[in-house]
């Protein structure tokens, strides 16, 4: 679509230029002596000289633009100044161009573009990547990044930072590497009454010329992350629960708000409420339930542009939650107790029934027992007689044996005496 419309537009501009030339329009002379210099890390100052022979009636302004790796950045500006300060892009070719114009004057044409460029140094693909910085509690900046895909495994990057107010760039010394993630932390504080914060320029490079440097400018208000609320206290009041926690002393007043999340038994049913101050009350709670709370802080949009929030505070609970193990044991124990009690009760009831209501004897059984006992007595008497006769026989045999034995002994003694 853009390519299709470029031809007619170009022809229209050429026709307009020809019409202006035919009407006697003049082409302005371009600026001269375009050059650049590093103001600080990641900051370039482009300067040029005003063109000569420009009519005093011309409202002279300069239009400048930036192209990175042949891609326009849509950062065109108009100014009467003979300089422009921009961020530095060192990981590719950065081209700066400027021309002179007579604003609101149709009797002259803009001059041609004057260009110059900053060419990158080092091997492509060695610059640090994925730079991510967080401004913790308005106290320190924590920056993390990854090595370039073509960088050596032993590459040691160094981080430098600067902002308006520092005399010179500073090097970050709190440097570490863990599992391929580079990290550096440096102090960053401003007066508490500040409403505006300067842009932070960050440069990551290596001492060797092989590694390409990386320059980025950060708006610190977009990087703010509050500290985690601490000292969360809970107390019961009437039919509600009152919460209170510590407030950060590094933020200006009324620049933070808080989110309170709480739940009773099921964490999936948690509720979140927004709080303007460092305390709140949750009304109408169940007195027989256990409630768990946690708090986090967020920057207010009217103070900071950051979307970051603090980590959740440590969970605090209030109230008593019934012990599930107790209920489980109770559910198992009660049926066992009931079963054992029932068995014991049935056993004792049976014995009690026998004592209270003994069984009525059957007359037929009584007659059987009567006649049966007589028969058994006669049989047992006969048996006793035969047993007695047998016993007497045995005793007589024993007596005879004894007499015989004694007689033999006496005879044997007499023979010996002889």
Six-digit token string for 292: 């768990």
The answer to whether residue 262 is domain-embedded is yes
Give the distance between the most distant pair of CA atoms in the chain.
198
Radius of gyration of the chain (CA): 55
**CATH code for the domain of 71:** 2.60.40.10
Residue-number span of the structural domain to which 192 is assigned: 129-224
The tens digit of pLDDT for each residue in 133-165 reads 999 999 999 999 999 999 998 899 999 999 988
Asked whether residue 306 carries a pLDDT value surpassing 80, the answer given is yes
Cβ-based neighbours of 263, under 8 Å, separated by 6 or more = 269, 270, 271, 291, 292
Backbone angles phi, psi at 129, to 5 degrees: -130, 165
Q: How far apart are the first and last CA of the chain?
A: 168
The closest of 169, 157, 163, 154 to 130, measured between CA atoms, is: 157
Lowest mean pLDDT among 222-226, 295-299, 363-367, 370-374: 370-374
Structural domain tally of the chain? Answer: 4
Are residues 181 and 205 part of one domain?
yes
Q: From CA 243, how far away is CA 232, in angstroms rounded? A: 7
Residue with tokens 């949750």: 282
Six-digit token string for 400: 């005879």
Are residues 191 and 282 part of one domain?
no
Which range scores top for mean pLDDT: 49-58, 255-264, 388-397?
255-264
Asked whether residue 81 carries a pLDDT value surpassing 80, the answer given is yes
Q: Which residue has the higher pLDDT, 182 or 341?
A: 182
Give the per-residue pLDDT at 403.
45
Are residues 202 and 308 part of one domain?
no
The answer to whether residue 302 is domain-embedded is yes
The answer to whether residue 413 is domain-embedded is no
Give the per-residue pLDDT at 346.
73
Q: From CA 113, how far away is CA 31, in angstroms rounded? A: 9
The answer to whether residue 52 is domain-embedded is yes
């Amino acid at each position: 679509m853009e390519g299709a419309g470029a031809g007619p537009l170009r022809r229209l501009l050429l026709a307009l230029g020809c019409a202006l030339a035919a009407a006697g329009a003049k082409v302005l002379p371009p600026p001269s002596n375009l050059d650049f210099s590093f103001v600080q890390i990641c900051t370039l100052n482009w300067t040029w000289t005003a063109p000569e022979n420009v009519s005093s009636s011309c409202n002279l302004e300069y239009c400048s633009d930036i192209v990175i790796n042949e891609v326009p950045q849509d950062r065109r500006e108009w100014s009467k100044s003979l300089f422009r300060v921009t961020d530095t892009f060192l990981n590719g070719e950065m081209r700066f161009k400027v021309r002179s114009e007579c604003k609101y004057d149709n009797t002259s044409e803009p001059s041609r573009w004057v260009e110059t460029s900053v060419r990158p140094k080092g091997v492509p693909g060695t610059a640090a990547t994925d730079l991510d910085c967080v401004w913790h509690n308005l106290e320190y900046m924590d920056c993390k990044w990854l090595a370039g895909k073509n960088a050596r495994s032993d590459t040691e990057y160094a981080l430098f930072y600067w902002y308006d107010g520092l005399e010179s760039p500073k090097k970050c010394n709190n440097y570490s590497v863990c599992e391929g993630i580079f990290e550096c932390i440096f102090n960053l504080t401003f007066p508490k009454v500040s409403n505006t914060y300067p842009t932070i320029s960050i440069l990551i490079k290596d001492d060797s010329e092989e590694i390409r440097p990386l320059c980025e400018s950060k708006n610190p208000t977009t990087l703010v992350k509050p500290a985690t609320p601490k000292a969360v206290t809970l107390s019961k009041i009437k039919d509600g629960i009152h919460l209170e926690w510590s407030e950060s002393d590094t933020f200006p007043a009324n620049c933070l708000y808080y989110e309170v999340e709480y739940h009773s038994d099921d964490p999936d049913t948690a509720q979140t409420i927004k709080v303007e101050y460092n305390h709140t009350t949750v009304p109408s709670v169940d007195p027989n339930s256990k409630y768990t709370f946690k708090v986090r802080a967020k920057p207010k949009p009217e103070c900071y542009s950051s979307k970051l929030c603090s980590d959740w505070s440590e969970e605090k609970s209030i109230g008593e939650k019934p012990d599930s193990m107790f209920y489980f044991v109770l559910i198992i124990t009660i049926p066992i107790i009931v079963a054992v009690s029932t068995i014991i009760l049935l056993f004792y009831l049976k014995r009690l029934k026998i004592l209270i209501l003994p069984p009525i004897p059957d007359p037929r059984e009584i007659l059987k027992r009567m006649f049966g006992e007589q028969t058994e007595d006669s049989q047992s008497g006969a048996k006793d007689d035969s047993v007695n006769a047998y016993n007497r026989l045995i005793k007589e045999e024993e007596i005879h044996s004894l007499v015989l034995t004694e007689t033999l002994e006496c005879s044997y003694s007499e023979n010996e005496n002889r």
